[in-house]
Structure 1
Amino acid sequence: MPSFRVPTIDISAWVGRGSPDARAAVVAAVDHACRTVGFMQIVGHGIPDAAVADLAAGLDEFFALPLEAKKTYVRPASENRGYSPPKSESLSYSLGVDPVTRMNDFFEAFNVGTSAAEYPGSTATPEDYAANTWPTDTTVFEPAVRTFYDEARRVAHTLTRVFAAALRVPEDFFDDLTGHSIDVLRMNNYALPPGTIELDGELTGMGEHTDFGLVTVLWADQVKGLQVLGSDGSWNDVSPADGALLVNLGDVAARLTNDRWMSTLHRVKPPVIDGTIERRRSAAFFHDGNADAVIAPLPHFVSPDAPALYDPVTVREHIAAKLAGSRAGRRNVTAVREAARVAASRG
């Protein structure tokens, strides 16, 4: 097997007015990454350095609050908004895989996303597009997060245009699937005050999982922890290059392409150094698609030799099953293919 590698792709030709040849080169590189790895490093994305620095400062401000203060921003699990305390989730349940101990992921997180009010005249409802909760005891956090959210959404929209070209569908194909997309920015913190988490052999940063939607745009600092499953069953360390965003496909992309493109399993392992966890921060923008969009393999990816691997499902149904696993502790029994890959992985 060739060594595992996450390719670096400059998408500036699609962010600006690149030549047809330059754009075609981006499409070919993205298509190859989607078929072989499911992850890529994106540069030339156009997000200002200042927006990233402000985001990091905002995360530091919020996560430095006392745990009891942060817990006042906990929302019902089904809403996928607000604060998630340590050990309140287990991402492996979203695949139907039992963790070592129940609800064992030690990270803490804060989620914001699109609300129904942002999609007037659409079929969006508050049940699928909950309103946001913003901390009242921070000053940097909200403006910094709002700015980065808008930038990450722009990058996701650019990538769907590249995807349309790579899949040889009309350039507006994804407009019908994402016109009122469920978009969520999840900000994660992997280092907690002493005494809040017991360091033991069963500690998991974030369990094995695939992302739920179409595409994920991730900012992360360069502390080790993220691991991606290779096609040979090995887990491989991945950290972003200077100025790069990590981009990976989610389940919606895999379903649309009948697994021609990969929704790759990944996890986060806690880097424990001298008995403490080294600080790691990340912010993942999930571009998931319309709640009522029906996702099924595209016809040109189905043939007698490659029958459809997935039954049609709405984005709403798919995400609800995954969230019921990761955030409510009810094993997702529909993720048979993904669970089998976890079982076959090494280490």
Structure 2
Amino acid sequence: MPVPVAVAASIPQYPRVPVTREDLEYAGLPIIDLSMADTYEGRVELAKDVTKAMTTIGFFYIINHGLTQAQNDRMFDIANVAFDHVSEEEKQIYTTSFEKTGQYIGYKPRQQWHIKGGVSDQIEQYNMDHDIMKDEHPKPLRPFLSEMDAFSRHCHFHVVHSILRLLAIGLELPDEEALVNVHQFSEDNESAARFMKYYPRTDDEEFKTDGVWLKGHTDIGSISVLWSQPISALQILGQDGKWRWIRHIDNALVINAGDVMEFLSGGYYKATIHRVVQPPADQRGYERLGVFYFCKADDNIKLVPFAESPVLQRVGIKRLCDDEVAPTMLEWRKSRTAGYGVTDLKLNAKTGHEEETVEGVLVTHYN
């Protein structure tokens, strides 16, 4: 389901920043060729690599995902419209209170989340329902809604559903559609597309936060899709306790599992800990634009493991909570969203990390 490149709606090209030349310690992520997922035999082979990635590193790249570099660039151009071409007055109209609704829709202004040392974030977001046409959007974005909608559907059906089939095969579930079936593109699902921009901070803010722009965390949903962009800032926490950088690959996707996948897989696929930090010296001073798709399970799904998995029966199930009190997707996303960045966290003196309890589950924020 390729994204059409519109010719009628012209748009300024978002400037591309050269990749860093600094000698960074990068995480060695596997590269998955999604074109192999077109056949069952190809999926079985890919599932081996994806399973290894999701049970160890927790991140992997995807290439040959069905969109060209030009289509990728076009979506970043459109994403920038949400920030640079919408007035502050119109942004206010489309700004919602996620603390009250438990749902990211519309704008999240800068300086809503506390980072450290009295410093708040410099992150602006524009969040959209996976069904782009469901809600109204700012006027400057309206000429591009058909492209945005096609992009969102491509992410959900072609990218995420393909990954979910590979993960189901990795669990040896009898039906490779088992995970797909609980992640539908429907009104009962709150998967979301997101445009996001990080703005540069002052030297004083960088000092007070140790250069951390977004604290180490796990994602709320099942599968997160990040469209790789050249400004280095994303880091993942390795099993050895070291933070490593994610390298940019042109027209690649960066994939990771979130909390919901850990619930559903009985701990087999781990929610991956990642953070965003100040870019290396040769990329500082630039705004960092991001394009994302966050897939969640259907709202009515109770977040309990697929206990029938032969793999889980062999290795054992590591539950985040007892099945009897496990939250639904709706309960989990509302509680996690409402409290993120605004809840008073408790410092664990032993680990040095901050913690909160959400729906009976301990959630850690990694400093």
Return the TM-score normalized by structure 1. 0.80
Task: Report the equivalent of 1:320.
Answer: 334
Amino acid at match of 1:313: P
Amino acid at match of 2:333: I
- The answer on whether the counterparts of 1:249 and 1:264 sit within 8 Å (CA) in structure 2 is yes
Equivalent runs, 1:98-177 vs 2, <5 Å: 99-101=115-117, 104-114=120-130, 131-138=134-141, 141-154=144-157, 155-169=159-173, 170-177=175-182
Aligned to 1:202, which of 192, 197, 208?
208
Aligned to 1:187, which of 181, 195, 206?
195
| Range with bigger deviation, 304-313 or 36-45 | 304-313
Give the superposition deviation at 1:150: 1.7
Give the superposition deviation at 1:12: 0.7
* Cα pair distance change 1:187/1:330, threshold 3 Å: farther
* Cα pair distance change 1:305/1:157, threshold 3 Å: closer
Aligned to 1:291, which of 295, 299, 319?
299
* Cα pair distance change 1:276/1:239, threshold 3 Å: closer
Q: Distance in 2 between matches of 1:310 and 1:101?
A: 33
Residues 1:241 and 2:246 are matched in the alignment: no
Q: Deviations over 1:146-204 (max 9, x none)?
A: 23212211211111111111111112212441234321011111136x99x97442354
- The answer on whether the counterparts of 1:224 and 1:271 sit within 8 Å (CA) in structure 2 is yes
- The answer on whether the counterparts of 1:82 and 1:133 sit within 8 Å (CA) in structure 2 is no
* Cα pair distance change 1:220/1:71, threshold 3 Å: farther
Equivalent runs, 1:8-87 vs 2, <5 Å: 8-14=31-37, 16=38, 18=39, 20=41, 22-65=42-85, 66-77=87-98, 78=101, 79-87=103-111
Secondary structure at 1:63 match in 2: helix
Give the superposition deviation at 1:303: 7.6
- The answer on whether the counterparts of 1:258 and 1:297 sit within 8 Å (CA) in structure 2 is yes
Give the superposition deviation at 1:239: 3.1
Aligned to 1:308, which of 305, 319, 324?
319
* Cα pair distance change 1:184/1:19, threshold 3 Å: closer
Secondary structure at 2:160 match in 1: helix
Aligned residues: 315
Q: Distance in 2 between matches of 1:37 and 1:241?
A: 18
Q: Distance in 2 between matches of 1:150 and 1:144?
A: 10
Q: Distance in 1 between matches of 2:278 and 2:135?
A: 29
Secondary structure at 1:254 match in 2: helix
| Identical pairs, percent | 23
* Cα pair distance change 1:142/1:207, threshold 3 Å: farther
Task: Extract unaligned runs of 5+ from structure 1.
Answer: 91-98, 119-130
* Cα pair distance change 1:226/1:307, threshold 3 Å: closer
Q: Deviations over 1:212-262 (max 9, x none)?
A: 111111113111100111111111110331221001111111112222211
Amino acid at match of 2:258: G
- The answer on whether the counterparts of 1:258 and 1:308 sit within 8 Å (CA) in structure 2 is yes
Task: Report the equivalent of 2:16.
Answer: none
Task: Report the equivalent of 1:127.
Answer: none
Q: Deviations over 1:20-71 (max 9, x none)?
A: 2x33221101111011111100012112333212211112222113444433
| Range with bigger deviation, 35-44 or 153-162 | 153-162
Secondary structure at 2:71 match in 1: helix
Secondary structure at 1:278 match in 2: coil
Secondary structure at 1:201 match in 2: helix
- The answer on whether the counterparts of 1:253 and 1:263 sit within 8 Å (CA) in structure 2 is yes
Give the superposition deviation at 1:314: 0.7
Q: Distance in 2 between matches of 1:31 and 1:25?
A: 10
- The answer on whether the counterparts of 1:35 and 1:260 sit within 8 Å (CA) in structure 2 is yes
Amino acid at match of 1:62: A
Q: Distance in 1 between matches of 2:95 and 2:119?
A: 16
- The answer on whether the counterparts of 1:271 and 1:278 sit within 8 Å (CA) in structure 2 is no
Return the TM-score normalized by structure 2. 0.76
Q: Distance in 1 between matches of 2:305 and 2:121?
A: 32
Q: Distance in 2 between matches of 1:303 and 1:8?
A: 28
